[in-house]
Amino acid sequence: MKRIGVFTSGGDSPGMNAAVRAVVRTCMHQNIVPFGIYEGYKGLIEGNIKQLSSRDVSNIIQRGGTFLRSARCKEFFAKEGRQKAFDNIKKYNLDGIVAIGGDGTFTGAKIFNEEHQIPFVGIPGTIDNDLYGTDYCIGYDTALNTVIDAVDKIRDTASSHNRLFIVEVMGRDAGFIALRSGIGVGAEAILIPETPTYIDKLIEKLKDQSTVEKQSMIIIVAEGDESGGAYKVAEQVKAKCPEFDTRVTVLGHIQRGGSPSALDRVLASRLGNAAVKALIDGKTNVMVGVLHRDISYIPFDKAIKHHQQINLDLLNLAEVLSC
Name the phi and psi angles at 297, rounded to 5: -125, 120
> CATH topology of 3-139+260-305 equal to that of 142-256?
yes
pLDDT greater than 90 at residue 307:
no
pLDDT greater than 80 at residue 214:
no
How far is residue 262 CA from its own chain's centroid? 16
* Nearest Cα to Cα of residue 40 among 12, 80, 78: 12
* Nearest Cα to Cα of residue 66 among 104, 123, 115: 123
- The pLDDT value recorded for residue 163 is 84
- The pLDDT value recorded for residue 205 is 85
- The pLDDT value recorded for residue 119 is 97
The sign one gets for the Cα dihedral 250, 252, 256, 258 is negative
pLDDT tens by residue, 254-269 = 999 999 999 999 999 9
Helix, strand or coil for residue 307? Answer: strand
Residues in the chain: 323
**Neighbouring-strand partners of residue 120:** 97
Q: 142-256 — its CATH code?
A: 3.40.50.460
* Nearest Cα to Cα of residue 34 among 12, 46, 19, 15: 19
Largest CA distance in the chain: 70
Helix, strand or coil for residue 95? Answer: coil
| Amino acid in the structure at residue 292 | H
Q: 3-139+260-305 — its CATH code?
A: 3.40.50.450
Q: What is the mean pLDDT of residues 239-267?
A: 93
pLDDT tens by residue, 147-202 = 999 999 999 988 888 888 999 999 888 899 999 999 999 999 999 998 888 888 88
pLDDT tens by residue, 119-150 = 999 999 999 998 999 999 999 999 999 999 99
Which residues are marked as active site? Answer: 128
**Domain range summary for the chain, segments of one domain joined by +:** 3-139+260-305, 142-256
Per-chain mean pLDDT for the chain = 92
| Amino acid in the structure at residue 149 | D
